[in-house]
């Protein structure tokens, strides 16, 4: 995983530091996009894939450090838009 967000170039650790200091709030983080894949009828259910692994890493760190009230991460679940997304 690269140490910077791809869109803005901001370092992940800087974002985490700002959350610790209160300069940034958890509510200010963008939603994580999650793709829902087909259910292969294997008893496991549909497959889910995060498109925002860096953001997910920040949420995971906050949870590990006890800075989240719940383990719930707000996401936006959607179907794959094209073949490339479906094959991930």
Model confidence over 12-71: pLDDT tens digits? Answer: 999 999 999 999 998 888 899 999 877 777 877 788 889 899 999 999 999 999 888 887
Q: Is the dihedral of CA 21, 23, 24, 27 positive or negative?
A: positive
Asked if pLDDT for residue 86 goes beyond 70, the answer is: no
Q: 7 falls in which pLDDT band (50, 70, 90)? A: confident
Using alpha carbons, select from 27, 19, 26, 76 the residue that is nearest to residue 51: 76
Q: What is the pLDDT of residue 87?
A: 65
Q: 79 falls in which pLDDT band (50, 70, 90)? A: confident
Asked if pLDDT for residue 77 goes beyond 80, the answer is: yes
């Amino acid at each position: 995983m690269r140490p910077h967000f791809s869109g803005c170039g901001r370092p992940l650790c800087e974002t985490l530091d700002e959350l610790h200091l209160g300069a940034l709030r958890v509510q200010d983080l963008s939603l994580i996009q999650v793709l829902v894949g087909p259910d292969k009828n294997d008893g496991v259910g549909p497959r889910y894939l995060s498109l925002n692994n860096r953001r997910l890493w920040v949420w995971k760190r906050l949870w590990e450090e006890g800075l989240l009230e719940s383990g719930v991460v707000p996401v936006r679940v959607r179907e794959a838009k094209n073949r490339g997304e479906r094959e991930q």
